[in-house]
Copies of this chain bind each other. A is one copy, B any other.
Amino acid sequence: MTLNKVTEAGIGARNKVNILAAAEKVFAQNGLKGTSVQQIADQAGIPKTNVLYYFKSKQELYLAVLKQTLSLWNSRFDLATAQDDPAETLAEYIAEKMEMSRTHPTASKIFALEIINGAPNLNRYFDEEHAQWMRGRVAIINAWIAQGKMSNVDPHYLLFHIWSSTQHYADFSAQVTRLRGSKMKKADFENATSHLISTILSGCGLTVPAQYRAASNG
């Protein structure tokens, strides 16, 4: 009985994971409305009814994918304080965001599609966790400015700047690849990361920490 339950839970868990992975891939191309349950089933290699057995509706599955996406957003910047070094903290945050774009591009795309659509499924998230996170980061950046650690930049525009320039390499990968002539490899991401850290920190009147300096710059 217990063994049976465990086995069932094992099968169910594996199937859910499989469906979630397939759904993430397909939702990242055409969003909630533009994606059919049939497409997700085909991607997962199972009949359509099985998808709706594990998730009551397309909407519920989408929300599960979206929630999974948000759980990846965690960063060391979440725990930063006014005592930390802004150059170190911001450089690390930019590097983390670029690593996310490289390793989880579909998660970034799903988030982008949801926001372009007007973020109808993120009302709670925006008004609660996200707004709170924002207030906390803004306060820390303002504290750094007050301490004379960095120049007087609007924290909101700084954070939007970091998000947009890093997520671009995930969301707009089709354009980036076409215009560069080849897919971004790990080394290309490292160069792009160095460019962004160098530029954004420079805009804040900060010096790039040694470990984030591009190798080619000596």
Query: Which A residues have a C-beta under 8 Å from some C-beta of B?
Result: 28-35, 109, 112-113, 115-119, 126-127, 130-131, 134, 153-154, 156-158, 160-161, 163-165, 167-169, 171-172, 174-176, 178-180, 191-192, 195-196, 198-200, 202-204
Contact = CB atoms under 8 A, between A and B. Distances in A.
Given A112-B116, A157-B196, 19 more contacts: A28-B116, A30-B31, A31-B31, A115-B171, A116-B172, A118-B174, A119-B175, A131-B179, A154-B192, A157-B192, A158-B195, A160-B168, A160-B192, A161-B199, A164-B165, A164-B172, A199-B204, A202-B202, A202-B203
Contacts of A174: 115-116, 118-119
A204 B180 CA distance: 20
A160 to B, nearest CB: 6
